[in-house]
Structure 1
Amino acid sequence: MKYSFLLCLFGLTILSACNNPKNGNKTTGTPDSTTNAKTELTENFYKRLEGTIAGKKVVMHLQKVNDDVSGTYYYDGSWLNLSTDTLIGKDSIVLTEYSYYESYFTQDFKSPHLALKWNGNGFSGTWESGDKAKKFPIALMEKYPEGSYQFNTGFYEDSVKAFASQPKSPAAQISFEYLESKNTDEYGIWLNTELKKISGVKPQVDRLVGFKNIATAYFKDYKLQVTEQSKNGRDEDFQAWMNYTNNSQQSVSYNDKGYVVIDFLADAYTGGAHGNYSSLMFCLDVKNKKQLVLSDIVKTDSSTLQGILERNLRKAYNIKATDALSTVLFDDVIKPNNNFYLNANGIAFMYNPYEVASYAQGQIVVFIPYSDLKTYLVPAFAQRMGIK
């Protein structure tokens, strides 16, 4: 679902639905790779995978909900995203690979594909370039080393018609794709509390009850807007704009060293030419039961970090030293924000549409390798991450 969001927003499909909730209470856990060697993939899952693609080490995060697979991995300096291309039987998946930078520079870029077959403990398969000129082997094993966590995945969806008596009435639809820690110790309890809060559910409220409460408030507001539009005497054309959607997804982008990074992607359509979307990144220090702030990772003045950020922006988006940043951005300056995330190789800053650039340019992501930050890394963080 994750990268389908980003692609589908440019060709938004108008939905109509009936008031019939599909409750995602069918969460299924990730099988323990040491004891479960079933060669069929479960209906829903989260998997942390270690191995190689083209001989290079990678850690991949994959999750599947309702026949929709998404994930991420880091390879040779690029943070790559994955979404479903094809599901083949119950043991094979073909994934499309998506890069922020490639999509930015090449409109007709042909995305690579990963053909994966599940063997009970991991995936084997082939990476193939979009033009089919290159092929490389893939070998991945499901692993959860100390300091990583296992998750269930789940889905909740509901919808309501604008006009109950009309068979083809416009409708509002809401959905939540969520994660739930399988750990039952104090760390798992804390992690589940944070995951609920990220989705807007109060800690003391059951997750599915919380989703239903959010949906009820959303539908109430939707009905008020429909009523207001009808009172204004608008012709029936306005109904074409009344198919509202509100979707969100939690996904894992890092899961090691007692840290879990959650990407909370939300998209919505409330009329107009197109919808909008955004990612909020949550760096959770599960070991110490806190959400990381930037000063937990880097200690330096804002101007120094801004300079490092700008150099990496220029490198990633091919902005020459003699060119202004406004060739890509709204302004000639880019500042660190609080929407950052991390992995074993560095940290990245995420800027959502309209934040620093136009909607058409999509999310602007600037990755900074730890090698550019060594002087400024907080010693305790560097030691825990094994950065020398």
Structure 2
Amino acid sequence: MKRALLLLLLAGGLLPACHNSNQEKDQHDTASAVVPLLSTPYYYTQLKGAVGGRQITMELLKTAPNLFRGYYYYDSTGLPISIWGSQDADQVKIYEDNGNREEERFFGGALSDDGIFKGVWHGDSTSHHFELHTDLRKAQQLQVYYDADSVKLLPSFPNSPLGIASNSILWPDSATDSTLAAFIRKAITGDIKMNDPRQFVKRAIDSFVTSYRIAAKDADSSDIVDGQSASWNWTTESDMKVVYNSWPLLVIEKYAYDFTGGAHGNSGAFYQTLDLAKRKVVTPDEFFKPGYKEVLSPLLDKAFRKKFHIDEDESLDQNLLVKTIAPNNNFIVTGKGIAFSYVPYEIGPYALGQVTLFIPFTELKSVLK
């Protein structure tokens, strides 16, 4: 049931982000488009500026109440760095999800309705002032929808365990060209006929609530009275993020976490690279020449060793469930390189988490089409 729920959420809010204008690069000028970052409940925007003298691009989303998520990258490298954060009064902290517990790296500052994020970046035992400005000139503009619900296991029991579900999705802006909007909706929902974001965001939540109520029929009420009910506190949450957005490429992350009892929950992030000009989903087989897997595996092994500080003389299967890392279809393309991402248990143990490995284009010349 856990895996089925996770896949359902990934296949599949409730306020729209903001009114944006159409993106088609050569048809509309969006230089003046600004997302009000304080007053808009949920949104996606793209910010640009410099940190420590290096230009960055931030794909920032507010996907739930007081919750920020997204990615940023240094323009010179194109390596996507996952970010998350929250707001306390008028101050926002956006942390890098880098897995380094020794030192936090984060953007601390204030958002404005002028589309500006200004403050101080902390990391690497130093700090840098930054000022990021909205820049949607080359970006496909999107809306964010969010919704949540909860249900008691035993409605008549005051301290009943809960099933809690939340869902946040992306949606093409209302002014987007109709054929492009249909393509993006199909990529997001998997259903060419789905054109109601509120219905779609609610569908996964309703499915979870129904599953919880069905499972509740097997619950032992005596265990709940005795306080042995932690495993019935089910949770499911899903959201979508923008990883990269520069015409014609739009990369979307679909993430889901699902706990339905047991030792731990299941989670995973799945990626789609969309070519908006050609109206197609980019796959590795279309992107690389035949025989690319044999070339990419050593490069992925190298990227893993670098990311996790593994010596060359140490075999990878001492840390992973595989001897070498093969490319999969969980595929990201940016302006500077590509990445493959592996959900827990795919190549490594659960404790390792999801592993995303980036390879710059400079190392891929022999296999690029």
Q: Normalising to structure 2: TM-score of the pair?
A: 0.84
Secondary structure (helix, strand or coil) at the match of 1:349 reads strand
Secondary structure (helix, strand or coil) at the match of 1:64 reads strand
Structure 1 residues 51, 226: CA separation in 2 closer, same or farther (over 3 Å shift)?
same
1:26 aligns with 2:25: no
**Identity within the alignment, %:** 25
RMSD: 2.6
Q: How far apart are the structure 2 equivalents of 1:33 and 1:125?
A: 23
Q: How far apart are the structure 1 equivalents of 2:35 and 2:159?
A: 47
- The farther-off stretch of 201-210 and 329-338 is 201-210
Pairing 1:235-250 to 2, within 5 Å after superposition: 236-250=226-240
1:137 aligns with 2:129: yes
> Is the CA contact (8 Å cut-off) linking 1:202 and 1:210 kept in structure 2?
no
- The farther-off stretch of 238-247 and 209-218 is 209-218
> Is the CA contact (8 Å cut-off) linking 1:172 and 1:243 kept in structure 2?
yes
Q: How far apart are the structure 2 equivalents of 1:203 and 1:297?
A: 28
Pairing 1:339-378 to 2, within 5 Å after superposition: 339-378=330-369
Pairing 1:72-83 to 2, within 5 Å after superposition: 72-75=71-74, 78-83=79-84
1:113 aligns with 2:110: no
Q: How far apart are the structure 2 equivalents of 1:30 and 1:373?
A: 40
- The farther-off stretch of 45-54 and 185-194 is 185-194
Q: Which letter does structure 2 place at the counterpart of 1:240?
A: A
Q: Which letter does structure 2 place at the counterpart of 1:227?
A: K
Q: How far apart are the structure 1 equivalents of 2:155 and 2:168?
A: 27
Structure 1 residues 234, 41: CA separation in 2 closer, same or farther (over 3 Å shift)?
closer
1:304 aligns with 2:295: yes
Secondary structure (helix, strand or coil) at the match of 1:376 reads coil
Structure 1 residues 207, 295: CA separation in 2 closer, same or farther (over 3 Å shift)?
same
Give how far 1:262 is off.
Answer: 0.6
Deviations, residues 161-188 of structure 1 (Å, cap 9, x unaligned)? 1111112211212111111111431212
Match of 1:167 among 158, 172, 175: 158
Residue in structure 1 matched with residue 10 of structure 2 by the alignment: none
Give how far 1:231 is off.
Answer: 9.3
> Is the CA contact (8 Å cut-off) linking 2:145 and 2:198 kept in structure 1?
no
Give how far 1:85 is off.
Answer: 4.4
Q: Which has the higher contact order (CA 8 A, sep 6+)?
A: 2
Give how far 1:242 is off.
Answer: 0.6
Residue in structure 1 matched with residue 117 of structure 2 by the alignment: 123
> Is the CA contact (8 Å cut-off) linking 2:242 and 2:252 kept in structure 1?
yes
Give how far 1:114 is off.
Answer: 0.8
5+ residue gaps in structure 2? 1-12, 21-29
Give how far 1:252 is off.
Answer: 0.2
Match of 1:204 among 184, 194, 198: 194
Deviations, residues 351-387 of structure 1 (Å, cap 9, x unaligned)? 1111111111111221111100012112xxxxxxxxx
Q: How far apart are the structure 2 equivalents of 1:222 and 1:37?
A: 37
Q: How far apart are the structure 1 equivalents of 2:309 and 2:55?
A: 27
Residue in structure 2 matched with residue 13 of structure 1 by the alignment: none
Secondary structure (helix, strand or coil) at the match of 1:307 reads helix
1:195 aligns with 2:185: no
Pairing 1:309-348 to 2, within 5 Å after superposition: 309-348=300-339
Secondary structure (helix, strand or coil) at the match of 2:217 reads helix
> Is the CA contact (8 Å cut-off) linking 1:249 and 1:266 kept in structure 2?
yes
Q: How far apart are the structure 2 equivalents of 1:234 and 1:161?
A: 12
Q: May I ask how many residue pairs the two structures share in their alignment?
A: 341
Secondary structure (helix, strand or coil) at the match of 1:344 reads coil
Deviations, residues 263-322 of structure 1 (Å, cap 9, x unaligned)? 111001111222121001111112111111102222141212212222222222222222
Structure 1 residues 166, 134: CA separation in 2 closer, same or farther (over 3 Å shift)?
same
1:93 aligns with 2:92: yes
- The farther-off stretch of 299-308 and 252-261 is 299-308
Deviations, residues 11-57 of structure 1 (Å, cap 9, x unaligned)? xxxxxxxxxxxxx3321316676265968452222111122111111
Q: How far apart are the structure 2 equivalents of 1:231 and 1:117?
A: 48
Give how far 1:141 is off.
Answer: 1.8
Q: How far apart are the structure 1 equivalents of 2:89 and 2:225?
A: 46
- The farther-off stretch of 282-291 and 25-34 is 25-34
Secondary structure (helix, strand or coil) at the match of 1:28 reads coil
Residue in structure 1 matched with residue 6 of structure 2 by the alignment: none
> Is the CA contact (8 Å cut-off) linking 1:30 and 1:46 kept in structure 2?
no
Structure 1 residues 256, 184: CA separation in 2 closer, same or farther (over 3 Å shift)?
same
Q: How far apart are the structure 1 equivalents of 2:213 and 2:70?
A: 35
> Is the CA contact (8 Å cut-off) linking 1:94 and 1:115 kept in structure 2?
yes
Q: How far apart are the structure 1 equivalents of 2:285 and 2:260?
A: 37
> Is the CA contact (8 Å cut-off) linking 1:123 and 1:141 kept in structure 2?
yes
